[in-house]
Amino acid sequence: MSSEAGQQHPLGIYYKIWILLFVLSSFSYAVDFFEVQGAMRWSLVLLFMVLKAGFIVAVFMHVMWERMTLIFTILGPPIVLLLLIGFMIFEGNYVSETRYQYRGHDRDAVALGPNDLHHEEEAH
Amino acid sequence: MTEAALNQADPASGIEGVIDDWSADKQAYHVPWGKLMMWIFLVSDTFIFTCFLTGYMHVRLSTTAPWPPQSEIFALSFGGDPIPLILIAIMTFILITSSGTMALAVNFGYRRDKAKTFMFMCATAALGASFVGMQAFEWTKLIEEGVRPWGNPFGAAQFGSVFFMVTGFHGLHVTGGVIYLLIIANKVRKGHYDKKGFEIVEIAGLYWHFVDLVWVFIFAFFYLL
């Protein structure tokens, strides 16, 4: 694809990706709606997220039609961010474990939702 | 060889093309300079948003206070029982729709169909503006429920700071994008790009798709997980 002529592609592919993004978003929402929990929730949400991100970057942002030189420039540098994320997972777990073990924080604390708060108000 | 010939993209593609592009004293990127600059800006913006999301991950891992239940907090009731996360889902669909209309605007731009390009860019901007409106509604609702950057009645105090920081910065990007799109759309309508070509629509489109892309990650990490 020569860039001088710009990125001209048939409209059909945009419609297809558009519909696909809608479907994938509905799936993500369904994961929450049907209260899928645990490892299944994580893998499904991350899978739909990666697919959506991939289609947006590849097709809507035309990366799949660009020359490899530009693709490397765009996708190369963000790879170092994976290193940052990896370090911070390690560090974050270490900090919370320290707090549980040495500062006596409660492992079994439960979060409140808006509904719990309203019930409390009614009880008083 | 003339200078113009030196700056032509080499016919080789893939890895071989990369080597050819870099292995001589000539132009390396064969895209309009504005588009390359937009890409470099977007790569730097990727770093900013990843730092926010990594910071969020870190406070969420390290806090020992329980994380507030997002699904319940962002539920909305239309008369009946509250539907979990419904407003966020609607916002997601609006942003995807706007990405679709933007892709169409870019396409019609390259076909030099100014009327349709203008129309689709305005539609994109309108969808973006409605997204920001819903975000303002969401903020108002959470502030009324007592969520603050330094604490909230539901659980970990970091929930509020992450929420306002991440969605606020994203909302700012959407707002900026709406203004940018309207300016470019108006210029398209006035015929500023008739001679220069319509790459500018694609450049604006790159920015807009990026805003949608960031929302994909926020939706997954902040609202769903």
Query: Out of B64, B93, B103, whose CB is closest to A99?
Result: B64
Question: Which of B32, B50, B85 is facing A81, going by the closest CB pair?
Answer: B50
Average pLDDT over residues A51-65: 93
User: A114-123, B22-31, B70-79: which range is least confident on average?
Assistant: A114-123
What is the C-alpha to C-alpha distance for residues A61 and B78, in angstroms, rounded to an integer?
Answer: 36
Choice between A109 and A85, residue whose per-residue pLDDT is larger:
A85
The pLDDT score that the predictor gives to residue A93 is 93
Q: Quote the ipTM score.
A: 0.89
Residues 102-131 on B with a CB inside 8 Å of A are: 102-104, 106-107, 110-111
Gap between the Cα atoms of B122 and B201, Å rounded: 12
Grade residue B9 by pLDDT with cuts at 50, 70 and 90: low
Top residue of B50, B57, B96 to mutate, by most chain A CBs within 10 Å, is: B96
Assigned token pair, B27: 């132009």
User: Residue B60's pLDDT is what?
Assistant: 93
Which among A8, A69, A105 has the least Cβ separation from residue B22? A69
List B residues 148-167 in contact with A (Cβ-Cβ < 8 A).
153-156
- Closest of B213, B72, B88 to residue B139, by C-alpha: B88
The predicted structure's pLDDT at residue A123: 53
- Cα separation, B157 vs B64, in Å, equals 11
Question: CA-to-CA distance for A40 and A43, rounded, in angstroms?
Answer: 5
Q: How many CB atoms lie within 10 A of CB B72?
A: 17
Interface test with A, best of B58, B77, B83, B208 (most A CBs within 10 A): B58
The model's pTM is: 0.90
- For B194-225, the pLDDT digits (tens) are 888 889 999 999 999 999 999 999 999 999 98
From the CA of A88, how many Å to the nearest CA of chain B? Answer: 6
Closest CB from B72, B197, B209 relative to A115: B72
Option in A21, A91, A105 nearest B58 (CB): A91
Mean pLDDT of B18-31: 85
Residue B78 has a pLDDT of 81
pLDDT at A105: 84
Q: How far is the alpha carbon of B217 from chain A, nearest alpha carbon, in Å? A: 7
What is the pLDDT averaged over residues B110-134? 95
> Touching check for B50 and chain A: CB below 8 Å?
yes
Confidence of residue A119 (pLDDT cuts 50, 70, 90): low
User: Which residues are CB-contacts of A5 (< 8 A; sequence separation ≥ 6)?
Assistant: none
Taking the CA of residue A106 as centre, how many other CA atoms within 13 Å lie in the half-sphere pointing to its CB? 8
Would the pLDDT of B139 be above 90?
A: yes
Cβ of A73 and B29 within 8 Å? yes
Distance CA B125, CA B145 (A): 30
Confidence of residue A121 (pLDDT cuts 50, 70, 90): low
| pLDDT band at residue A3 under the 50/70/90 scheme | very low
Average pLDDT, chain B: 90
B85: closest CA among A28, A29, A21? A29
pLDDT value at A106 more than 90:
no
Q: Which fold has domain B66-224?
A: Four Helix Bundle (Hemerythrin (Met), subunit A) (1.20.120)
Arithmetic mean of pLDDT, B130-159: 92
Per the CB < 8 A criterion, the answer to whether B181 and B16 are in contact is no
Give B159-196 pLDDT, tens digit per residue: 999 999 999 999 999 999 999 999 999 999 999 998 88
How confident is the model over B16-21, as a mean pLDDT?
Answer: 86
Q: Residue A60: its chain B contacts at CB < 8 A? A: 99, 102-103, 205, 209, 212
Task: Give the pLDDT band of residue A115 (cuts 50, 70, 90).
Answer: confident
Q: What is the pLDDT of residues B60-111, one digit of tens each?
A: 999 988 899 888 888 888 877 888 888 999 999 999 999 999 999 999 999 9
Q: Are B214 and B49 in contact (CB under 8 A)?
A: yes
